[in-house]
Amino acid sequence: MIRTLPRPSATSRLLLAITIPLALALLFPTVYLALRAAQVPLDDAADYLTRAGTLRVIGRSLLLVGAVSLASAAIGIPAAWLTARTDLRGRRVWTIALTVPLVIPSYVSALALVSAIGQRGFLQGWLAPLGVERLPSIYGFWGAWLSITLLAYPYVFLSARAGLKGLDPSLEEASRTLGRSAWETFRRVTMPQLAPSIMAGVLLVALYTLSDFGAVAIMQYNVFTRAIYLRLSLDLETAALLSMVLVALSVAILALANRIEQRGSTYYAQRSARAHQRIALGRWQLAAQAFLALIALLSLIAPLGVLSYWLINGLQHGETLADVIIPLQRSIRAAALAALASGVLALPFVLLQVRFPSRISQGLARAAYLGYALPGVVIALAFVFAGARALGALRDWFGMTDYRSLGLLVAAYVVRFIPQALGPARAGLLQVNPHLEESALTLGRNRTRVFASITLPLMRPGLVAGVAMVFLTAMKELPVTLLLAPSGYTTLATRIWSASSEAFYARAAAPALVLVLISALSLVYILDSDD
Amino acid sequence: MTETPAVTCHTLSKSFGPVRAVESVSFRLERGEFLALLGPSGCGKTTVLRMIAGLEQPDSGTISLAGQVVSDGHAFVPPDRRRVGLVFQDYALFPHMTVAENIAYGMARGRDRHGRMAELLALVGLDEYGGRYPRELSGGQQQRVALARALAPQPDVILLDEPFSNLDVALRTQVREDVQRIIHMAGVSAVLVTHDQDEAMSMADCIAVMFAGRIHQIGTPRALYEAPVSRQVAQFLGDANLIPGTARERVAETALGDLPLRTPADGAVEVLVRPEALILGDIPDGALATVQRTIYHGAHQIVWLVLADGTPLKAFAPADVEWQAGQQVRVTVRGAALAYPA
């Protein structure tokens, strides 16, 4: 609900003075790329975009997005139903096991697949004596599809599960007492209520797939992100043009997700305290266990197993764990800086949006949320583009010979990930009743002290969750790091990338396992603070 | 020829883990009768209702609807085949359907659905609201939609689970009367679950009082009020003064004097004296009491007194005499009283 404030207070003016330049800075990459893309003559642009090669890129992207979304729904929805509504044995364990794949970076998932059943994978090595000359190639569509699906389905799983749990059980009971069978009840009452949650999860998967770089790069499947990356060194203008198409698609998906979320939220009017009755699986118990075990095996146990195999293999052949320490420190430093900066910068946006709602504050918040629609490759491209332009000036004024720097890397992380801090921080602030602040004001504290003593402590859980989220995702980030980290600043992500692109799987295993472990720990932290 | 009862529950029991929610509950609901299950929250009354609807399965006991066994040791008829309407405490209106779609949801296909819909909307006074969504209605209107929806499949029995607890107190009396009228006009039997004795007394033909999973007493509102079987029931239905005393045959010796008893008793007892049975004034053989405070209610007043031995009393007195705190007054009891073993 948008209300305009009766009078612009000093506080709201101060917040506006902070957020307006910030929002402009966050908009910079998009605006800059758009301007650069606009410099391409219209005829050339039309010609390039309708070229067979470009159309194939668009087609592949859409095919991959569609296929991953479908597969994620096919895995996520039944898994959600089984863990939320039935007497499945080991529900808690299954829920965790099916959520954890979220923390596996896509390039690690792809690396595990390639290093197991690729041309130089160990399976080939084992099968060769048996006369198997060549395994079918994993590269291309199937490899990209499988590696992304196996780590993206938890988005559907989690949101369908939340939807199922949030549904008022008396709705289904009402349907039964009105003479409708269990199946009819599911179809006419449960599904329509659940559809928004499922769609929200599916759209997250679509967005993830569209923006993913790691898996498609390793699988050499030429979709938008990879095509843009490959064009970076050839022709920045057409790369900008492709980026604009990609951003437009992402924005469309986000807008759709937004609309569904708004429509869906009106459904959950009341919440009943009573829990749903669990459906007895009976003789289906075994089949359900087998289904979930297969998913967990493919998405979690197999990748970890493959990486462990290569780790041991590497240690036997002279790799040392000490090599991981410096990249680990660098990853943590860059991600922590980005997380802290995102948390601090999210505050003024959230305060303005929640406490001083108006058209302007909504617009500013939307600018900050744009990062959701910007794939890493696109942000990296904008910074590379602008950095290359500014290099002359940088050299003359500061004696810099390279625009890449830790500061630039962190700035790009913030643009990309600040939305992940905004969401939880906003939710945290929404839970702070403004009457608490007002009563503190009437008790003689000024605005600043009220903020420090009342608002900030109360919204802290949300803020901390958001900061942890940014840390988790920045740790895993690949394309921005690859293109903007200072020369020689090897992080876990870039080390895994370089080792796996040279098929030094044994060298990639240790950083990959460390990365997954740290990500898993921060996920546990986030899930814990959720309760 | 005797008609089969609409609902018969025989020795129903149900536990949730270690908690015995319902223990050996039995009652009959005749055709067209309105029964209230009355008790404090957590006494198991809602569980009884949900077992009748088929939403919970009893651990033991039998439920029959219109003479058909729907639940016993062997058979369990699912809720969709019981012809029982349930109005939920939170109404449970389908948020993605309009009022008309909600009401039509349980109707049989084919037959005159439009006519029936118009009839139901008129019955609950929502003729103009068929196209609205539940969230666009007030609490009272949602309540009536829930009732119309439950009546739509023409159930034999309608079950109401604390249906007025989400309404404003000011609205409640009106909605209660509406609901009672609608159910009466629809000619169905009804079971109301409530913790509000006013609600139970004003709506039901018959009340079953439940504590801790058991029915303590079943009867008409008058029978329950006038002859509660225990102190607990007496205190739950209306106000009760329980005065300690010693009984011999049909007389109890108490601080209020010798009180005649309706049934003979012996030994230590507590005597039930309703506030309206106390008579205050210049009565020669009355017991002496001191006025503590009064609340004026227009038609009557509530007077708190304390007897010489410290026993507190609550009395409803006519409003014409103004009592002052600290004033001495004489008190007697009208009619014969009930005594419970102490």
Residues 20-79, chain B, touching A (beta carbon < 8 A): 53-55, 78-79
- Domain end among A269, A302, A318: A318
Domain count, chain A: 2
Closest Cα in chain A, distance from residue B155 (Å): 9
Residue A270, in any domain of the structure: no
Instruction: With beta carbons less than 8 A apart as the criterion, state whether A469 and A420 touch.
Output: yes
CA distance B13 to chain A (A): 19
* Range scoring the smallest mean pLDDT among A174-188, A435-449, B4-18, B313-327: A435-449
More confident residue, B108 or B336: B336
Domains of chain B: 7-83+155-234 (3.40.50.300), 239-341 (2.40.50.140)
Nearest to A421 by CA among A350, A481, A359: A350
Chain A residue closest to B158 (CA)?
A177
| CA distance to partner chain B, nearest, from residue A217 (Å) | 43
Question: What domain range includes position A403?
Answer: 9-39+320-531
- Whether residue A388 is contained in a domain is answered as yes
Tell me how crowded residue B324 is: count the other CB atoms within 10 A of its CB.
9
pTM for the model? 0.79
Domain end, chosen from A318, A333, A357, is at: A318
Q: Are residues A359 and A230 part of one domain?
A: no
The length of chain A, given as a count of residues: 531
Q: Give me the pLDDT at residue A263, please.
A: 67
Nearest CA in chain A to B89: A170
Residues A350, A368: contact at Cβ < 8 Å? no
CA-nearest residue to B150 within chain A is A178
| Helix (H) / strand (E) containing B290 | strand B287-296
Q: Which chain A residue shows the shortest CA-CA distance from B153?
A: A178
Do B94 and A266 make contact, defined as CB atoms within 8 angstroms?
Answer: no
Return the SS3 of A9.
coil
Say if A75 falls within a structural domain. Answer: yes
Q: Would residue A524 count as lying in a domain?
A: yes
Residue A471 and residue A455 share a domain: yes
Per-residue pLDDT reduced to its tens digit, A10-23: 788 888 999 999 99
Any domain includes A253 = no
In this structure, the answer to whether residues A313 and A453 fall within a common structural domain is no
**Stretch (H or E) spanning B302:** strand B300-307
Domain identity same for A404 and A522 = yes
Task: Please list every residue in chain A whose beta carbon sits closer than 8 Å to the beta carbon of residue B135.
Answer: 266, 269
With CA atoms as reference, report the closest residue to B278 among B335, B217, B223.
B335
| Cβ proximity of A454 and A434 under 8 Å | no
Contact list, A168 vs chain B (CB under 8 Å): 90, 92
Q: Are residues A383 and A418 in the same domain?
A: yes
Nearest to A178 among B90, B95, B153 (CB): B153
Q: E strand or H helix at A493, and its extent?
A: helix A492-501
Nearest CA in chain B to A191: B96
How are beta strands B34-38 and B206-211 bridged, if at all? parallel
Q: What does the alpha-carbon distance between residue A2 and residue A16 come to, in Å, rounded to a whole number?
A: 17
Contact B81 A179 (CB under 8 A): yes
Residues B186-214: what's their mean pLDDT?
A: 93
With CB atoms and an 8 Å threshold, state whether B106 touches A178.
yes
Name A224's Cβ contacts closer than 8 Å, sequence gap at least 6: A57, A58, A61, A210, A242, A245, A246, A249, A375, A377
Sign of CA dihedral B139, B145, B147, B150: negative
How far, in Å, CA of B37 to CA of B26, rounded? 12
Q: Which residue of B77, B105, B107, B160 to mutate against A (max A Cβ within 10 Å)?
A: B105
Asked if A14 and A113 sit in the same domain, the reply is no
- Arithmetic mean of pLDDT, B14-33: 92
Residue A95 and residue A16 share a domain: no
The segments of chain A whose pLDDT lies below 70 read 1-8, 263-275, 444, 528-531
DSSP helix/strand/coil, A89: coil
Using CB atoms, pick whichever of A173, A193, A270 lies closest to residue B96.
A193
- Averaged pLDDT for residues B173-197: 90
Per CB-CB distance under 8 Å, the chain A contacts of B90 are 168, 170, 270, 272
B251 touching A (Cβ < 8 Å): no
Residues A22 and A74 in one domain: no
A345 and A308 share one domain = no
What CATH number does residue A219 fall under?
A: 1.10.3720.10
Q: Are residues A74 and A106 in the same domain?
A: yes
Residues 116-135 of B with CB under 8 A from A: 134-135
Other Cβ atoms closer than 10 A to B73: 10
Residue A149 lies in a domain: yes
Nearest-CA distance B218 → chain A (Å): 27
φ and ψ at A78, to 5 degrees? -60, -40
Contact A179 B54 (CB under 8 A): no
A103 in any annotated domain: yes
**A70 and A190 both lie in a single domain:** yes
Q: Would residue A244 count as lying in a domain?
A: no
Task: Say if the Cβ atoms of B79 and A173 lie within 8 Å.
Answer: yes
- Predicted confidence at residue B165, as pLDDT, reads 84
User: Which two tokens mark B120?
Assistant: 């139901």
* Nearest residue to A19 (alpha-carbon basis) of A254, A512, A481, A368: A368
Residue of A nearest to B155 (CA): A178
* Pick among A178, A183, A187 to test the B interface (most B CBs inside 10 A): A178
Q: Are residues A17 and A121 in the same domain?
A: no
Q: Could you read off the pLDDT of A116-137 as tens digits, one per residue?
A: 888 777 777 787 777 777 777 8
